[in-house]
Amino acid sequence: MVGMQGLDLEAAKQLAIGMIPFIERTGVELLELEPGRLKAKMPFEPNINHIGTMYAGALYTLAEFPGGVVFFSIFDVTKYYPIIREQTIRFLRPATTDVTIDVAITQEEVDRISREIDEHGKANWTWEVELVDANGEVVATSTNHYQGRAHG
Amino acid sequence: MVGMQGLDLEAAKQLAIGMIPFIERTGVELLELEPGRLKAKMPFEPNINHIGTMYAGALYTLAEFPGGVVFFSIFDVTKYYPIIREQTIRFLRPATTDVTIDVAITQEEVDRISREIDEHGKANWTWEVELVDANGEVVATSTNHYQGRAHG
């Protein structure tokens, strides 16, 4: 797979969401994507649970999938790939609307991780993610532990 | 919603999986269900990711949804309902087959939780869950923090 640098949003959306059917089935939408940053929305309706709130697995997916997409938007993916090692999600209040996230990684962090992978074959980083409902309330937070690795 | 005591496996499956479309879309199957215990299988094929392993969100869902189902199988659901408060999932190795879980709660723990809800309106419990592939390897573990609450 190639990187997303230079792709327009529609093409990136195809690549990012279309290649994992599980994610596509949630109806999640990429709202904004630039190198190192992503904004996405998980729609309420198809992800409702039996008590009329957004199912935990949909919130989990919204918190998880941007890690890979942001990685592909800014890292040299001819050399590196990411995996998720561990994730803790905390449910703070029921979500009864669409939920969005807006996550970013700095160029400094990208450089540090790339350098460490070059030297050691792998590098870890952690993301704190907030999931926000349509009223601006944080419905959940997630701590994501990723690892970048060298191909081959 | 009513409890599952006395329901056969097919009826319970309808109730447990059919009522949350997100879970139904994963194709997860209830293999065994008895009061306080559940065995389920997440099929590989519909949950594959872009690198040919099971997507993290499918593993998360397999680890999460049994909590509610087991709750409804053994607690007095005319009085109590469960929520998930926090969940940590650790990915130990890529899953390249169907993945199963087999989880249970003891009657002693059910009694303790019910008593605490009666006294305080709520009670917490934690589950350690292992996700096992077709070769018997643990591909992920999950620590699930639930809370039971009194209706109304």
Residues A86-114 have pLDDT tens digits of 999 999 999 999 999 999 999 999 999 99
Distances (CA, A) of B10 to A115, B16, B33, B55: 54, 10, 10, 27
SS3 state at A146: strand
In whole angstroms, give the CA distance from residue B150 to residue B85: 16
Query: Residue A138 domain-assigned?
Result: yes
Residue A53: C-alpha distances to residues A35, A104, A141, B78, B114 (Å): 33, 27, 16, 20, 24
And the tokens for A114?
A: 């790339």
One-letter amino acid identity for B95? A
Instruction: Tell me which chain B residue has its CA closest to the CA of residue A44.
Output: B22
pLDDT value, residue A75: 94
Domain assignment of residue B139, yes or no:
yes
Q: H or E stretch including A56?
A: helix A56-64
**What is the chain A residue with the closest CA to B16?**
A50
- What mean pLDDT is predicted for residues A130-139? 98
Chain A residues with CB within 8 Å of chain B CB: 1, 19-23, 25-26, 46-51, 55-58, 60-61, 64-65, 81, 83-91
Res B123: pLDDT: 97
- Whether B4 is covered by a domain: the verdict is no
Question: Residue A2 falls within a domain, yes or no?
Answer: no
ipTM of predicted assembly, 2 dp:
0.91
Does residue A112 sit within a domain? yes
Structural domain for B45, as ranges? 9-150
CATH number at residue A31: 3.10.129.10
- The answer to whether residues B85 and A89 touch, using CB atoms and an 8 Å cutoff, is no
Give the Cα separation of A53 and B83 in Å (integer): 11
In a domain, B3, yes or no: no
Determine the distance in angstroms separating the CA of A22 from the nearest CA of chain B, rounded to an integer.
Answer: 6
Domain tally for chain B?
A: 1
Is A22 within 8 Å of B85 when comparing Cβ atoms? no
Residue from B5, B80, B73 nearest B39 by CA = B73
Q: In terms of pTM, does the model score above 0.95?
A: no
Contacting residues of B for A81, CB less than 8 Å apart: 51
Q: Which of A91-100, B6-15, B20-29, B123-132 has the lowest mean pLDDT?
A: B6-15
The predicted structure's pLDDT at residue A18: 80
Please report whether residue B1 resides in a domain: no
Residue A14 lies in a domain: yes
